[in-house]
């Protein structure tokens, strides 16, 4: 049994059509009802409709990415219980439609963070990029976070000062938009909300956030078990603290802590090689060996870091992540499963014709098609040589 080749599809407004997905060779769809405001129950009828569209194209909706966890749950604020009940109801509704693998994250306020979404590579393709000096420009001069300078090396602070002085108002606005950007078509955060959230999370801290995650998991596990749902937490992207916000899903120890604290099979992991691989402290193959029994979904992409810890998203097979090692491990895990583990080529370069199109950052068609093709070849090569 092969891994299940999947593809993230943002829904009917995605510039990449289901027909394109089929030509890329994926059979599983990873999708979500992005238009439903965070925290509200996903109506059964709307889930059914999305499923119908996907199946009409001859594909199968295999993973929900994501059912967002409302900030009230992450911060365990007054209306937390309301949102927990909504979450449970969404899970019941999904299960009623036969969709049983759910991805989520527990990153405070911001989802993934980059500083440049059009970093030009040597071959003219564009990639997503994270640079500490740009982050410091945002933190020190736009956000103006108290004590921010202590979170960077003196060299980065000085370079940020120089870069800031040479930035136009438009440059700053663009940087701000990129940092605050999350999932397309979902509500994005403003500088003001970010400031307020930073204060709230300062009081919560990593230990508080960890116990809020435990509380969330314990509140939904019975519903997951009754309905055959597997939850998969997405690692922090990038896997280190930024902007003074606590991080709790960045390392092997973090992930082990999560699965061992709420030690139930439904409490699983979305193994994202690119997120984990962006940290010098992480060895994705080693992490997969440690937590693989709870991995129910994988995001495969690569990153290349420089000596300062900046990184860009490199070709799927070349970069700091040993993709061969990861794939070998995934294939071994997959052999022990009843159902194949879905993976998707996570992000791709904006390249060829897509350079002329408006695309969702990281989610243009051709770069992912290339990534999927390479990963599929890697899988087949390993699987055949293991078998022979
Ligand atoms: C970015 C994605 C994330 C991911 C969420 C999961 O490209 O990997 O936005 O979907 O963090 O909740």
* Residue 41 neighbours by CB distance under 10 Å: 16
Q: Give the integer Cα–Cα distance in Å for 339 and 328.
A: 18
35 catalytic, yes or no? no
**Ligand 1 in contact with 105 (CB < 6 A)?**
yes
316 catalytic, yes or no? no
Mean pLDDT value across residues 196-224: 98
Q: Does the structure show a pLDDT above 90 at 184? A: no
C-alpha to C-alpha distances, 123 to 17, 129, 369, nearest whole angstrom: 26, 16, 17
Strands 60-65 and 101-105: parallel
CA of residue 182 to ligand 1 center, whole Å: 8
Convert the pLDDT of each residue in 95-139 to its tens digit: 999 999 999 999 999 999 999 999 999 999 999 999 999 999 999
**Ligand 1 in contact with 181 (CB < 6 A)?**
no
C-alpha to C-alpha distances, 203 to 76, 197, 238, nearest whole angstrom: 12, 10, 22
Mutate to test the pocket of ligand 1, among 68, 103, 106, 111 (most ligand atoms within 8 A of CB): 111
Residue, of 182 and 141, whose pLDDT is higher: 141
Q: Which of 70, 234, 316, 349 is catalytic?
A: 234
CA of residue 179 to ligand 1 center, whole Å: 14
Q: What is the DSSP letter of 140?
A: I
CA of residue 386 to ligand 1 center, whole Å: 32
**Ligand 1 in contact with 90 (CB < 6 A)?**
no
**Ligand 1 in contact with 366 (CB < 6 A)?**
no
User: What is the b/e burial string over 328-353, where b = at least 16 CB atoms within 10 angstroms of the residue's CB?
Assistant: bbbbebbeeeeebbbbbbbbbbbbee
270 catalytic, yes or no? no
Q: Does the structure show a pLDDT above 80 at 185? A: no
pTM given for the model: 0.98
Q: CA-CA-CA-CA torsion for 14, 15, 19, 20, nearest 10 degrees?
A: -120
Q: Which distant-in-sequence residues (6+ apart) come within 8 Å of 288 by Cβ?
A: 271, 295, 326, 329, 330, 333
> Taking all residues of the chain, what is their mean pLDDT, rounded to a whole number?
97
299 catalytic, yes or no? yes
* pLDDT at residue 387, as a whole number: 85
41 SS3 class: coil
* pLDDT at residue 381, as a whole number: 98
Convert the pLDDT of each residue in 299-342 to its tens digit: 999 999 999 999 999 999 999 999 999 999 999 999 999 999 99
Q: Which distant-in-sequence residues (6+ apart) come within 8 Å of 98 by Cβ?
A: 51
Q: Where are the domains of the chain?
A: 4-112+205-304+320-387
Percentage of the chain with pLDDT > 90?
97
**Ligand 1 in contact with 66 (CB < 6 A)?**
yes
349 catalytic, yes or no? no
Q: Does the structure show a pLDDT above 90 at 289? A: yes
**Ligand 1 in contact with 271 (CB < 6 A)?**
no
C-alpha to C-alpha distances, 173 to 133, 134, 152, 242, nearest whole angstrom: 16, 12, 22, 19
* pLDDT at residue 186, as a whole number: 81
Q: Which of 34, 70, 299, 349 is catalytic?
A: 299
- The kind and range of the H/E element at 318 are none
* pLDDT at residue 388, as a whole number: 82
Classify domain 4-112+205-304+320-387 at the CATH superfamily level: Divalent-metal-dependent TIM barrel enzymes (3.20.20.150)
* pLDDT at residue 365, as a whole number: 98
Q: How confident is the model at residue 188 (pLDDT cuts 50, 70, 90)?
A: confident
Mean pLDDT value across residues 142-159: 97
**Ligand 1 in contact with 10 (CB < 6 A)?**
no
Q: Give the integer Cα–Cα distance in Å for 42 and 93.
A: 7
38 catalytic, yes or no? no
């Amino acid at each position: 049994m092969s891994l299940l080749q999947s593809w993230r599809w943002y829904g009917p407004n995605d510039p990449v059509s289901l027909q394109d997905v089929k030509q890329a060779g994926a059979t599983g769809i990873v999708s979500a009802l992005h238009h439903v405001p965070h925290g509200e129950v996903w109506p059964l009828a709307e889930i059914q409709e999305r499923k119908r569209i996907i199946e009409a194209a001859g594909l199968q909706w295999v993973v929900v990415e994501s059912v967002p966890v409302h900030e009230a749950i992450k911060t365990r604020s007054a209306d937390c219980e309301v949102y927990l009940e909504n979450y449970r109801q969404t899970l019941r509704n999904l299960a009623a439609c036969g969709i049983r693998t759910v991805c989520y994250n527990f990153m405070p306020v911001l989802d993934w963070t980059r500083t440049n979404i059009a970093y030009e590579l040597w071959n003219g393709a564009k990639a997503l990029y994270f640079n500490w000096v740009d982050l410091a420009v945002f933190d020190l001069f736009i956000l103006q976070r108290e004590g921010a300078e202590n979170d960077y090396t003196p060299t980065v602070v000085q370079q940020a000062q120089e870069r800031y002085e040479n930035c136009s108002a438009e440059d700053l606005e663009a940087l701000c938009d990129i940092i605050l950007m999350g999932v397309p078509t979902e509500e994005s955060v403003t500088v003001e909300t970010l400031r307020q959230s930073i204060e709230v999370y300062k009081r919560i801290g990593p230990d508080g956030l960890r116990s809020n995650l435990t509380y969330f998991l314990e509140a939904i596990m019975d519903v997951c078990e009754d309905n055959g749902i597997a939850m998969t937490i997405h690692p922090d992207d990038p896997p280190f603290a930024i902007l003074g916000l606590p991080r709790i899903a960045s390392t092997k120890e973090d992930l082990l802590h999560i699965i061992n604290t709420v030690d139930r099979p439904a409490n699983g992991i979305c193994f994202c090689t690119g997120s984990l691989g962006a940290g010098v402290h992480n060895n994705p193959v080693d992490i997969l060996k440690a937590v693989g029994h709870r991995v129910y979904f994988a995001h495969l992409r690569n990153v290349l870091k420089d000596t300062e810890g900046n990184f860009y998203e490199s070709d799927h097979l070349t970069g700091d992540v040993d993709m061969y090692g990861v794939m070998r491990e995934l294939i071994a895990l997959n052999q022990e499963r009843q159902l194949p583990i879905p993976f998707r080529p996570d992000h791709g370069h904006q390249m060829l014709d897509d350079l002329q199109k408006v695309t969702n950052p990281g989610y243009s068609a051709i770069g992912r098609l290339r990534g999927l093709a390479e990963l599929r070849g890697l899988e087949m090569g390993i699987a055949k040589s293991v078998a022979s």
